[in-house]
Chains A and B, each alone.
Chain A
Amino acid sequence: MASGHASTAPALLVPEAPGLLGLSGLGFNRAQSIAFLVMLGVLLVGPFLLYPVFLMKLLCFALFACAFNLLIGYVGLLSFGHAMFFGMGGYVAAHAAKVWGLTPELAILAGGVVGAGLGVVAGWVAIRRQGIYFAMITLALAQMVYFFCLQAPFTGGEDGIQRVPRGALFGAIDLSSDLTLYWVVAAVFLAGFLFINRIVHSPFGQVLKAIRENEPRATSLGYRTDDYKLVAFTLSATLAGIAGGTKALLFGIATLTDVYWAMSGEVVLMTLVGGLGTVFGPVVGAAVIVTMQNYLAEFGAWVTVIQGVIFVACVLAFRAGVVGELGRILKVRL
């Protein structure tokens, strides 16, 4: 989406405004530091004001959307198949916790490992084409994974894997209380969020942005762009797997819904609504969409229609997303 981000490119050359409270060490500018502190505050106070399970669901999707945004926002690759990592991560984490009896942190990790493995293979195939083809290829690969999950014995087919135990963290801290689990999920989200931020601001991340802006030029400067894209794809898939694994433990269930193409579309929508290529956009987008689904659940199939309308409206009139527009009004990068 090179054209959409052309305006951010020169900013790479301009020194950033100093950060707050040493948060510039995380790569945040001043506005991002403030936004980060606000987000931390919401994370801390949230479970006492809102239903923790709702917040946890939101955080799982926020991490999923951040992982997706790493690709579209910073490498310019639109993956239309991220549900395969999210869903498979969920299945494997659920299987690990239920059948192998692993502790929750290991189960989530297993989800991440599977996401990574799947990411290497899918990425290896998909990065051979760019742009629209890349989107179609990832979508097709995800559909293949969906059919695999439909038939494989361990996924339980249409029933999914049900009654997955939350277990005890490190074998010691019982997670059956929603509030205890909340802190774990919040920690997973925060770790993933900061990790992505670290990647984006590393020299590696700069090369990714260079590829997004002008791939032939990056190649001519001596970078093996395919290798960079594959690593970014794998990292994104890993985090998506972790998000899926966390969600499976949270609800105690892993189903086909999470590997279906509609889920791939949903994460695109979240990121688009929040703002492609912004740090906080995916989080805000996930919050908007999850909240909307919660309140509109009674309308049944109309939710799909509303999501479609939001898609169309965003593409036609609101391409910068909530956070992007906010940044434009305040004249800061968020």
Chain B
Amino acid sequence: MLEEILFQLELGLPQIVLGLVNGAFYALLSLGLAVIFGMLNVINFAHGAQFMMGAFVAWMLLNWVGIGYWPALVLSPLIVGAFGVLIEKTMISRLYKLDHLYGLLLTFGLALIIEGIFRNEFGSSGLPYSPPAALGGPPVDLGFMFLPKYRLWVVVAALAMSLATWLVIEKTRLGAYLRAATENAALVQAFGVNVPRMVTLTYAAGVALAAFAGVLAAPIYSVNPQMGSSLIIVVFAVVVIGGMGSILGSVLTGFGLGLVEGLTKVFYPEASSTVIFVIMAIVLLARPAGLFGRA
């Protein structure tokens, strides 16, 4: 019995490592959602659409302007982040005094608009985007399996970005203002901090994180208008499981659930698309506030 499981695990190792790659995207996206929610109290339903925009902007930069992957990794989040500033300034900022559900409805509408426009322009079939030359080449030999360099890079980049976000929020002066404003915005404003501008920039940063994930995803998944919408629903489940209380919690939950999904693909492939939702239900029954949440 045990030998059989070990044998299956060995065969399934690539799947499990791929699960880690998916987990990298869950982590980055739930991190962005948590950053936005912490400051704005808005669940950004357009997060999936902004992830997709990040991938498309990278594709456009390459095919229309001739700008390659590495500059796009910086430019695309900046461009999509600027779009986020526009959205926050013109629409979301009008809703802060209302019930939080209106923010969800507004961003859902925005997601429909963005996705619809891209579907009209680019169709539903995916566009190819090849990984940069430096990360192409032969797969890395990890001893127990061969891993394409690019996928390894995705995991590393996601971890580095998560760490950077954590450092900014926990260890810098700006992060201290942010955390203070999350607790009591009025008081922080009274101390002379421009809270509305901080809120706008927080939204832009969260959106930029989604776009960054989108650029990372472009060479793995084909670039298509629907790439964000199904992913974002899984990320919502991830957020419910982890709770939005802590950054490290979001990252751990994201990677962990990616792994679990990978394992499920090995042992019971039929359930691989639903396992995260099942876990969500179990966590809700056992610990409604989420694994890392504060009730």
Contacts and interface: CB of A to CB of B under 8 A. Distances in A.
Are A and B interaction partners?
A: yes
Interface of A: 1-4, 78, 80, 125-126, 128-129, 131-133, 135-137, 139-141, 143-144, 147-148, 150-151, 261, 265, 268, 272, 300-305, 307-312, 314-316, 319
Nearest to A4: B99
Interface stretch (B16-24, B76-84, B185-193, B271-279): B271-279
Contact of B288 (A78, A129, A132): A129
B11 interface: no
A137 B43 CA distance: 13
A250 B210 CA distance: 42
Contacts of B110: 308, 312
Given A139-B233, A311-B108, A312-B109, A304 B115 contact: yes
A2 B98 CA distance: 9
Interface in B102-136: 102, 104-106, 108-117, 119-120
Contacts of B236: 136, 139-140
Given A4-B98, A137-B280, A310-B109, 12 more contacts: A1-B101, A3-B98, A131-B100, A136-B237, A136-B239, A143-B233, A143-B234, A272-B105, A301-B116, A304-B113, A312-B109, A316-B91
Nearest to B281: A125
Band of interface residues on B: 35 or more
Contacts of A4: 98-99
A4 B119 CA distance: 34
Contacts of B165: none
B94 interface: yes
Given A147-B273, A304-B112, A261 B233 contact: yes
B282 to A, nearest CB: 9
Contacts, number: 125
A155 B111 CA distance: 29
B198 interface: no
B106 A140 contact: no
Given A144-B277, A148-B274, A312 B91 contact: yes
13 contacts: A128-B288, A131-B101, A133-B240, A135-B43, A136-B236, A136-B240, A140-B233, A140-B236, A141-B281, A261-B233, A305-B117, A311-B109, A316-B91
Contacts of A311: 105-106, 108-109, 112
A121 B94 CA distance: 37
A181 to B, nearest CB: 32
B284 interface: yes
B13 to A, nearest CB: 25
B119 A301 contact: yes
A316 B113 CA distance: 15
Nearest to A309: B113
Q: Which 5 A-B pairs have the closest CB atoms?
A: A311-B109, A308-B112, A308-B113, A305-B116, A304-B116
Contacts of A128: 284-285, 288
Nearest to B94: A316
Given A315-B102, A315-B106, A308 B111 contact: yes
B6 to A, nearest CB: 28
Contacts of B285: 125, 128
A137 B113 contact: no
A305 B277 contact: no
B229 interface: yes
B4 interface: no
Looking at B101, B234, B277, which has the most chain A CB atoms within 10 Å of its CB? Answer: B101
Contact of B108 (A148, A265, A301): A265
A117 to B, nearest CB: 15
A305 B288 contact: no
A301 B105 contact: no
B95 interface: yes
